[in-house]
Amino acid sequence: MSELNGYRWHEDDYEKEKKQGLIVKSEKSYYTENYVKPKKGMHIHTAIVAIIAVVIGGLVFGTTFTFLYPMIYTQETQTHHSLKPDAESDFLDQQPAQNPSQQQASENNEDRIDESVSTSTEDKKADLSEQDYRASLVTDNPEGIHLTVPQIAKKVGPAVVGIVSTRQSRGFWGEVYETEGSGSGILISSDGFVVTNNHVIEGATEINVILNDAHMPNVDNDNTDKNRFNAKVIGADPQTDLAVLKIEATGFPYAKLGDSSLLEVGEMAVAIGNPLGQEFAGSVTLGVISALNRTIRVEEREFTLIQTDAAINPGNSGGPLVNSRGEVIGINTIKMAVRGVEGMGFAIPINEAKPIISDLQQYGYVKGRPFIGIVGRDITESIARQYSWPLGIYVIQVAPFSGAEIAGISPRDIITKFNNISVETIAELNEEKEKLNVGDVVQVEIYREGEYKTIQLKLTEER
């Protein structure tokens, strides 16, 4: 699990190493304790004291029952008889007055409501196939009615899936072993498009989506486990930590995406996901919107996120944050992982995610994003002093056919200025780059082998 400034990705969400001889798995994660009561012998004096206590207690109880109960019973009888049975019955049976015309109108309205509900339901079933009708039940709340937490869980829960990603790693001696990471995802269409976090599936050699037992569509599935579907990555975007997957089937229940711009601090928020893997799939936690527009920096990337105190644990990554109308208003992604700090989780606002999701679905990448084409690292002041280098970005790798390669940037170059602005970190470089468009030509100052050089670089489109 990577960590920076106290924030962590859940990128090793409940990982289970399958390396031979090293299986990290907890069969039982509950604390139990057996308490054996010590045996003691019965002494004679203890028995005598017990007998005396029983005799005295019996005398006290008998006296109370003999003398006090008749008095209490007599008072209760007199009190009850002071009420008139007929008046009491009339009072309980009394109803608000209603004239005949109001009564007839009420009956007609009830008949119309019953007929309307029955007709709309039957029409809907007739217009949709059985699978599509079942899928539509998840998103139906056209009037935006505020729901209870159980209603939210029933409405959105079927669209929340588990995502199991398999990665291959090499050990010290070169042996290959597999690890499994578990996260969450959201079905956003009946034909099997799933949204999750990029870090949940990044580097995976195999991805499986696991559905809820109670909401399985009637489709062919080659897997032995009929809940598990092989998934294909349609597109992934590390910059926003979003990814779109596809499972080949139809008739899935799906969630409705809401409007995060309407959120207010203090309103209800519900997180649904699979903390600690599939053992706790579909867990629901309740909280509030703690804050909006929180700026969080993780791994040289800056995010503007929703803060919530709804519990977000490892395995919740990629799951939905839901409002009181049962609409997805955020995608859970980060939690504050500092000892002594609880209730600080963060989600990607759905309004920021929507255009990214749309581009990933259609093109497999985010269109129109300028791209330099380097992999680099910051040169700190201590490194600069040690090697007599300037502050800037040390180039580690150059992407083939990128603007950087065409401009002549090479590994071990140090970028010190971009578009005539001094840059000392990758974050500053990205900030300047995002002010520009694909196709723009900028001046880049580099430091190479003790000399400064200025080159022209044309920004290409990131894919």
Query: Which helix (DSSP H) or strand (DSSP E) does residue 391 occupy?
Result: none
Whether residue 428 contacts residue 463, with contact meaning beta carbons closer than 8 Å, is answered with no
Q: What is the token pair recorded at 207?
A: 């991805």
* Least confident range of 295-299, 316-320, 335-339: 335-339
Q: Vertex 314, ends 311 and 320: CA angle to 5°?
A: 60
- Amino acid at position 233, single letter: V
- Residues above pLDDT 90, as percent of the chain: 49
Which of 48-52, 71-75, 103-107, 204-208 has the largest mean confidence?
204-208
Whether residue 235 contacts residue 359, with contact meaning beta carbons closer than 8 Å, is answered with yes
Instruction: Give CA–CA dist 367/237, Å, rounded.
Output: 11
pLDDT computed for residue 169 by the predictor: 81
Q: Vertex 440, ends 402 and 430: CA angle to 5°?
A: 70
Q: Write out the E strands in 175-300.
A: 176-187, 193-196, 206-210, 228-230, 232-237, 242-246, 268-273, 283-298
Domain-by-domain residue ranges, the chain? 154-363, 370-461
pLDDT computed for residue 136 by the predictor: 46
Mind listing the pLDDT tens digit for each residue in 75-105? 443 433 434 444 433 433 444 444 444 444 4
Question: Is pLDDT of 326 > 50?
Answer: yes
- Amino acid at position 451, single letter: E
pLDDT computed for residue 258 by the predictor: 95
Helix (H, G, I), strand (E, B) or coil at 350: helix
Instruction: Give CA–CA dist 66/121, Å, rounded.
Output: 67
Looking at residues 3-8, what average pLDDT do you find? 47
Q: Vertex 294, ends 290 and 298: CA angle to 5°?
A: 125
Helix axes 130-139, 100-127, angle to 10 degrees: 120
pLDDT band per the 50, 70, 90 thresholds, residue 336: confident
Q: Which fold has domain 370-461?
A: Pdz3 Domain (2.30.42)
Looking at residues 46-53, what average pLDDT do you find? 67
What DSSP state is assigned to residue 158? G
Residue 111 is a catalytic residue: no
Partners of 335 in the β-ladder: 8, 345
* Least confident range of 59-68, 170-179, 294-303: 59-68
Q: What is the token pair recorded at 184?
A: 């969450």
Partners of 305 in the β-ladder: 294
Question: Is pLDDT of 186 > 60?
Answer: yes
Mind listing the pLDDT tens digit for each residue in 266-289? 999 999 998 877 778 888 999 999
Residue 384 has phi, psi (to 5 degrees) of -60, -40
Residue 317 is a catalytic residue: yes
Q: What is the token pair recorded at 105?
A: 């109108």
Mind listing the pLDDT tens digit for each residue in 120-168? 444 444 444 444 444 444 445 555 688 999 999 999 999 999 999 998 8
Whether residue 352 contacts residue 240, with contact meaning beta carbons closer than 8 Å, is answered with yes
CA 317 to chain centroid: 5
What DSSP state is assigned to residue 318? T
Whether residue 288 contacts residue 309, with contact meaning beta carbons closer than 8 Å, is answered with yes
Q: What is the mean pLDDT of the chain?
A: 76
Whether residue 252 contacts residue 190, with contact meaning beta carbons closer than 8 Å, is answered with yes
Is the domain 154-363 a CATH 2.40.10.120 member? yes
Query: Do 154-363 and 370-461 have matching folds?
Result: no
Residue 10 is a catalytic residue: no
Q: Among residues 190, 317, 324, 402, which one is catalytic? A: 317
pLDDT band per the 50, 70, 90 thresholds, residue 174: confident
Whether residue 370 contacts residue 401, with contact meaning beta carbons closer than 8 Å, is answered with no
Helix (H, G, I), strand (E, B) or coil at 124: helix
Instruction: Give CA–CA dist 146/197, Å, rounded.
Output: 28
* Least confident range of 72-81, 153-162, 197-206, 290-299: 72-81
Looking at residues 301-321, what average pLDDT do you find? 89
Instruction: Give CA–CA dist 113/118, Å, rounded.
Output: 8
pLDDT computed for residue 40 by the predictor: 43
Question: Is pLDDT of 38 > 70?
Answer: no
Question: Is pLDDT of 37 > 50?
Answer: no
Q: Among residues 199, 283, 324, 402, which one is catalytic? A: 199
Whether residue 71 contacts residue 64, with contact meaning beta carbons closer than 8 Å, is answered with no
Question: Is pLDDT of 232 > 60?
Answer: yes
Whether residue 186 contacts residue 255, with contact meaning beta carbons closer than 8 Å, is answered with yes
pLDDT computed for residue 74 by the predictor: 46
Q: Among residues 13, 182, 215, 241, which one is catalytic? A: 241
Looking at residues 379-399, what average pLDDT do you find? 95
Question: Is pLDDT of 319 > 50?
Answer: yes
Which of 8-17, 338-347, 413-422 has the largest mean confidence?
413-422
Q: Which residues contact 230 (CB under 8 A, 6 or more apart)?
A: 206, 207, 208, 222, 223, 247, 248
pLDDT computed for residue 124 by the predictor: 46
pLDDT computed for residue 213 by the predictor: 65
Whether residue 446 contacts residue 414, with contact meaning beta carbons closer than 8 Å, is answered with yes
